Structure 1
Amino acid sequence: MVRQGQIRPARAVAGRGLIAALVLLPVAASRGTLGALRERWGTVAILAVVHIVVPFLLITYGEVHITSSLTGLLIAVEPVVIALLMSRAEPLTRGRVAGLVLGFAGVAVLVGLDVSGDRLGLLGAGMVLLAAVSYGVATIFVQRRTADIPPETLAGGTTAITTLVLTPFAILTWPAAPVHADAWLALAALGVFCTAVALLAFYRLVALAGSNRAGLVTYVNPVVAVLLGVLLLNEPLRWGTVAGFALVVAGCWLSTRPAPVRPEVTEPVPVG
């Protein structure tokens, strides 16, 4: 439930997009790469909808009804979605399947499984799960359709389009009560670090490593969150946390190992 003084989901996503676009577009302009948007605006618009507008809104609304730990676990389905969608181009080996299972188990150990929520908890979980599927589709789309667009231009274009799409909805949900300063500061941090910097790094990662490897970032996210909690907030480091780390590392290693090359069998050449 959104309380008074807080930023509603549509405004939060539009605000994140606006802040990220204001950070990224000047960078693209200084590098002379903005021209790519004029030539590929339709493709960039599709990516903006699939990678930002739809999943960001689904997660923001879904988290109103479920816990953050369940949200993290459901989003971790993304690498599995990518692996299934890419199974023709990159067949699923036993090692990759084992890696995906181990990584998901590691996330489950790290974030726990708290299924508590309000009476719309099932709907919230479904929203977050659909967001994970949308993320998976978007990751493959980046690799196949937009890998040639510079990351700062692609990230700036998608966030700018997100802002344009959601601004009318943000205006319609303008709150009557003033928004707390802490909420604005949190939105600024989300826009700069969790949107601008994150998208810039992610699009670059997809171009360099491919969608299957890039999708594994959803397994690493909880590891980073727990490490920051231990280092910055003095949270305890438990044995379950160490076990979760080990499972995630093992899963990522197995999932990214190259498939073994089978030696070619040559027919013996008859003599005489």
Structure 2
Amino acid sequence: MGLKSAYYLVSLAAIWGASFLFMRIGAPSLGGAWLIEGRVGFGAVFLFLVMAFLKKRIHFRENGKHYAIIGLLSAALPFLCYGYAAQYLSASLMSVVNALTPIFGTAISALYFRKALEANKVFGLLLGLIGVAVIVGFDPEIVKENNLLAVFVVMCAPICYGIVSVYTQKAKKVDPITNSYGSMLMATLFIAPLLFFIPPNSAEDINWIVVASVIALGVICTGVAFLIFYKLVDDIGMPSTLTVTFLIPIFGVFWGVIFLDETVGWHTLIGTVLVIIGTMKVTGFTLKTVVKPTS
């Protein structure tokens, strides 16, 4: 991996790590539905402008069903899970749970394709779950009302990502930018009806910081992040790009401490290490994965 690709990888981790910070800022006043509709909506607008600039077409008649599946499983449902959880949980905890994505992806793939998991992958899966249990079990804030439910809800997000990862293994290939826009457009349409039934938590508390956070979530953490992600896939390949998973919790915890004054206890540090090691075991990550040149 060259220096430029390493820079993009770290930048992507910093951006996706910041998404938990922005959700934590916006969720208390907006609530999950309005927050996430803003995220996917602004993301869709940004990607539409990119599509227009590059003169790409969406081909909705051919790919509409595909966009709907991707939009539901990779954006609408997992983002709503994070939006709900952000009302109760710290940015640090949510970013660590997000690192379980490869673990759930591997487990769901093995079930779907009926392939037995190797012992080291089973060990990694258990290690990741133990890591989350350590963070949650020793956090006094979790026992408060609704917080334990929020933990179970937030863990549904990486499960959704795991399901969609299996789907993409068999789905037809679509241009990455077009795929990103189509999925964000469908996610926006899926979430929109909820706004008629779920009002913002506290409209009077919505200020410029909340609005700026939602715009940043959509434009930077969704639109720009997808462009960087697919740029990395083209440059260094998918295995090396997915090492971003190990970096996101580091930035998620860092942004939470710096901007939200979140406390990082020993249980958070130990749990994060267990989750990252478990993910490395499941994915078979080694340093050769990063430095291996792509052809």
Normalised to the residue count of structure 2, the TM-score between the two structures is 0.66
Q: Describe how 1:103-252 pairs up with structure 2 within 5 A.
A: 114=139, 116-117=141-142, 118-146=144-172, 148-175=173-200, 176-177=203-204, 179-202=206-229, 208-209=237-238, 217-226=244-253, 248=276, 252=280
Task: Give the conservation status (yes or no) of the 8 Å contact 2:126–2:278.
Answer: no
Higher alpha-carbon deviation: 118-127 or 50-59: 118-127
Task: Give the conservation status (yes or no) of the 8 Å contact 2:133–2:271.
Answer: no
Q: Describe how 1:67-82 pairs up with structure 2 within 5 A.
A: 67-82=90-105
Q: CA deviation at 1:167?
A: 2.5
Gaps of 5+ in 1: 259-272
Distance 1:130 1:243 in 2: 19
Higher alpha-carbon deviation: 26-35 or 97-106: 97-106
**Shift in alpha-carbon separation, 1:204–1:140, aligned structure 2, 3 A:** farther
Task: Give the conservation status (yes or no) of the 8 Å contact 2:98–2:157.
Answer: yes
Gaps of 5+ in 2: 1-23, 287-295
Q: 2:284 aligned to 232, 250, 256, which one?
A: 256
**Shift in alpha-carbon separation, 1:216–1:81, aligned structure 2, 3 A:** farther
Distance 1:231 1:177 in 2: 26
When the two chains are superposed, the root-mean-square deviation of aligned CA atoms in Å is 4.3
Amino acid at match of 2:223: A
Q: Which residue of 1 aligns with 2:84?
A: 61
Distance 1:243 1:123 in 2: 19
- Give the number of the structure whose alpha-carbon radius of gyration is greater: 1
Higher helix residue share: 2
SS, match of residue 223 in structure 1: helix
Distance 1:195 1:255 in 2: 24
Higher RCO structure (Cα 8 Å, ≥6 apart) = 2
Distance 1:198 1:120 in 2: 31
Task: Give the conservation status (yes or no) of the 8 Å contact 1:72–1:222.
Answer: yes
Normalised to the residue count of structure 1, the TM-score between the two structures is 0.71
Higher alpha-carbon deviation: 131-140 or 33-42: 33-42
Distance 2:285 2:80 in 1: 34
Q: Which residue of 1 aligns with 2:3?
A: none
Task: Give the conservation status (yes or no) of the 8 Å contact 2:92–2:253.
Answer: no
SS, match of residue 89 in structure 2: coil
Equivalences, count: 255
Q: CA deviation at 1:133?
A: 0.8
Q: CA deviation at 1:152?
A: 1.2
Distance 1:214 1:34 in 2: 26
Q: CA deviation at 1:254?
A: 7.3
Q: Which residue of 1 aligns with 2:10?
A: none
Q: CA deviation at 1:8?
A: 2.2
Distance 1:68 1:90 in 2: 35
Amino acid at match of 1:180: N
